[in-house]
Amino acid sequence: QPGEIFEYFFDNEVLTLVCDFTNKGAARNLEKGRKFSWTEISPGELKKFIGMLLYMSISRLPKIRDFWRTGSIFSLQTPATIMSRDWFLAILANVRMSDPEEDQQNDKLKGTETYDPLHRVRPLMEMIGTRCRALCHPRQHLAVDERYMKAKPTKWGLKFFVLADKNGYTVDFQLYTGKSNVSSGKGLSFDVVTTLVRKEYLGSGYIVYTDNFYTSPVLFKHLRTQGFGACGTYRQGRVGVPTTTENALTKKSPRGSIRWIRDGELLFVKWMDTREVSMCSTIHPVYTGESVQRWQKSPDGKVQKVAVPRPTAVTEYNKYMGGVDTSDQMIGTHSIHRKTKRW
């Protein structure tokens, strides 16, 4: 049941933590002279509040107060039976995921290397991350990609780096906050993948798929030493990528042409489809007989579908790389659109 799955992640420990921080924050706001009615929130009341947020993501109205409006043919009966409007708004104004006293101390560190820009959400974020890693044993094929909490083509809002399996389950995630104080010196893409793909909780034997932002010979060799296979598209010009033009594909190469170079444990494959596709893999052979149907004009001018040879790495990449996109689709279906505070 959906409610049971929800409680695996928002269990009593998580709810109690948020309740404690929220009650503490509300008390401080009352001391500052803010006017609202408050009684200490319990885990049960917090679950009702979260339930209301989920309800609002399905039954969308222009304003929050509209959910409690009466005397209209568009009035909703459910919200008022769960909690009053003023109580919901009071929780919304005071809900916290971190200790307000510790927030105050962290705010004093702005501009220094020890300042944590995620301090206000870190306790909850880390608890949910722990549960994501522990509650589901993922399938063998994993993908690393970006997730934007707003429309992905526009690339604005919160940016997450996500490790997901083929079914769209989020195994682990990392919220991007800009340049990291702790880095390997091998680039952001290397640090992201090695932070998300860790042997201590995954074990070994997994195959990780990445796009050309992450793929590099340095990363793939490192994953190999950790017991992980890797496959991904790559950018020409990356350190360690072959630069030879001998026997290379050209714009005139027929569709289905395959070229490859092996460098120890790394296999670099180029394939001509509508355009040139470049793949790197540590676990796939070059070609095992796979083909894909493509429309092609015959010498007599007729357009017909023909079987075009396709490298194994391309076939497997297309099959397993979409896990993060699948989870994005599920998240985007029930998103709560409302004005929020920025800090």
Q: For the chain, which residues make up each domain, given as ranges? A: 2-116, 136-328
User: What is the average per-residue pLDDT within 250-257?
Assistant: 93
More confident residue, 281 or 333: 281
d(CA 20, CA 27): 11
The pLDDT of residue 73 is: 84
Instruction: Indicate the pLDDT class of residue 273, thresholds 50, 70 and 90.
Output: very high
d(CA 207, CA 223): 9
The pLDDT of residue 298 is: 82
Instruction: Indicate the pLDDT class of residue 338, thresholds 50, 70 and 90.
Output: low
Residue 327: pLDDT over 90: no
Instruction: Indicate the pLDDT class of residue 334, thresholds 50, 70 and 90.
Output: low
Helix (H, G, I), strand (E, B) or coil at 96: coil
Instruction: Indicate the pLDDT class of residue 57, thresholds 50, 70 and 90.
Output: confident
d(CA 228, CA 198): 10
The pLDDT of residue 102 is: 97
The pLDDT of residue 178 is: 81
Residue 60: pLDDT over 60: yes
Phi-psi region of 71 (alpha: psi -120 to 50; beta: other; left: phi over 0): left
- 28's CB contacts (< 8 A; 6+ apart) are 100
Instruction: Indicate the pLDDT class of residue 339, thresholds 50, 70 and 90.
Output: low
> Tokens in use for 45?
């009341």
User: What is the average per-residue pLDDT within 146-154?
Assistant: 67
Task: Please list the alpha-helical segments (H only) found in the chain.
Answer: 2-9, 12-31, 43-58, 78-82, 85-94, 100-107, 122-135, 188-196, 199-202, 217-225, 312-320, 323-333
- Which whole-number Å values give the CA distances from 57 to 44, 86, 334, in the listed order? 20, 19, 5
Instruction: Indicate the pLDDT class of residue 340, thresholds 50, 70 and 90.
Output: low
Residue 297: pLDDT over 90: no
User: What is the average per-residue pLDDT within 334-341?
Assistant: 64
- 342's CB contacts (< 8 A; 6+ apart) are none
pTM above 0.85, yes or no: yes
First to last CA, the chain: 36
Residue 109: pLDDT over 90: yes
d(CA 163, CA 294): 32
Residue 104: pLDDT over 60: yes
Find residue 269's DSSP bridge partners. 260, 279
Residue 341: pLDDT over 70: no
Lay out the sheet containing 276-281: strands in order across. 170-175, 159-165, 141-148, 207-210, 229-233, 276-281, 266-272, 258-263
Task: Please list the alpha-helical segments (H only) found in 136-251.
Answer: 188-196, 199-202, 217-225
The pLDDT of residue 181 is: 61
d(CA 263, CA 285): 13
* 127 in Cβ contact with 13 (< 8 Å): yes
Closest CA to 263 of 288, 234, 290: 234
Residue 85: pLDDT over 60: yes
The pLDDT of residue 2 is: 86
> Tokens in use for 199?
């042997």
User: What is the average per-residue pLDDT within 260-284?
Assistant: 96
The pLDDT of residue 337 is: 62
User: What is the average per-residue pLDDT within 125-149?
Assistant: 93
The pLDDT of residue 59 is: 86
Instruction: Indicate the pLDDT class of residue 238, thresholds 50, 70 and 90.
Output: very high
pLDDT tens-place string over residues 153-177: 555 678 899 999 999 999 999 999 8
The DSSP code for 287 is -
